[in-house]
């Protein structure tokens, strides 16, 4: 016996077939990443309008590391890369050396500040006898001296109470000028941290489209402070 299919049912079958064909064509012709499971797609390309290199001198703990938006490079000589850096901290009467690398940094070379930091002690006695340095950190407002040939010269824009000191570039050179610097350095414990970062993040524009900045912390930070730092730097160096 011949089965008779109604006109309505035949029309429904045709419509289902057409919808299935359109759906298959859409899948086959869509970009590959659109067919990936959640989280498996390609990351969007970041185009940075400005770029920064941020050096973190971390003498105290962070609850989490800084997180870049892709437009600023993170450099952490005291924590994350101690195999590449060696830090000579001049803040004590007997300078302390940490790290095992070949990129030397003089920290707290304050002529009028710490007991171990006079011009006379900035010689070959304490820190490996090197004549050139990756960087030197020195007090603001004329209280520091560049003795040798640092590649990066950092101005410490804070006092012993973690208060902010204005960026002055008041450098008393006794050696050759650095390749990059002075570079503003903010104490993470200072008040108005975000505004200090965003107001000074462009003060050391030594390379085309690249701005150097530095953040020091001698006290432990909270997650909120880390978020504040990230947000301010993302605002400075953005896509």
Q: What is the mean pLDDT of each run of 10 residues along the chain (239 residues)?
A: 42 38 37 31 68 95 96 93 87 79 83 50 60 81 63 88 84 66 93 95 85 96 98 96
Task: Specify the DSSP class assigned to residue 120.
Answer: G
Question: Do 145 and 117 contact (CB within 8 A), yes or no?
Answer: no
Task: Kindly tell me the number of DSSP H helices and DSSP E strands found in the chain.
Answer: 3, 11
Q: Which residues contact 46 (CB under 8 A, 6 or more apart)?
A: 69, 70, 71, 239
The three-state secondary structure class of 16 is: helix
What is the per-residue pLDDT for 112?
56
What is the per-residue pLDDT for 76?
94
47, 51, 88, 46: which is closest to 204 by C-alpha? Answer: 51
The three-state secondary structure class of 87 is: strand
Question: Do 26 and 45 contact (CB within 8 A), yes or no?
Answer: no
Residue ranges of the domains in the chain? 51-236
Q: Tell me the pTM.
A: 0.75
What is the per-residue pLDDT for 82?
86
What is the per-residue pLDDT for 219?
94
């Amino acid at each position: 016996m011949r089965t008779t299919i109604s006109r309505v049912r035949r029309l429904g079958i045709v419509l289902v077939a057409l919808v299935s064909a359109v759906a298959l064509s859409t899948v086959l012709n869509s970009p590959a990443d659109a067919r990936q499971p959640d989280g498996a797609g390609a990351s969007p390309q970041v185009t940075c309008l400005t770029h920064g290199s941020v050096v973190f001198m971390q003498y105290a703990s962070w609850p989490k590391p800084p997180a870049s938006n892709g437009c600023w490079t993170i450099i952490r000589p005291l924590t994350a890369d101690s195999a590449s850096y060696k830090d000579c901290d001049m803040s004590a009467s007997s300078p302390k050396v940490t790290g095992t690398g070949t990129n030397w940094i003089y920290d707290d070379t304050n002529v009028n500040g710490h007991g171990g930091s006079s011009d006379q002690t900035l010689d070959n006695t304490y820190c490996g006898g090197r004549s050139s340095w990756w960087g030197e950190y020195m007090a603001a407002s004329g209280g520091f001296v560049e003795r040798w040939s640092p590649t990066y010269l950092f101005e410490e824009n804070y006092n012993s109470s973690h208060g902010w000191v204005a960026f002055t570039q008041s450098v008393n050179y006794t050696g050759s000028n650095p390749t990059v610097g002075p570079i503003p350095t903010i104490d993470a414990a200072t008040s108005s941290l975000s505004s200090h970062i965003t107001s000074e993040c462009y003060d050391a524009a030594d390379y085309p489209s690249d701005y150097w900045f530095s953040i020091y912390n001698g006290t432990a930070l909270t997650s909120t402070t880390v978020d504040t730092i990230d947000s301010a730097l993302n605002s400075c160096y953005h896509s």
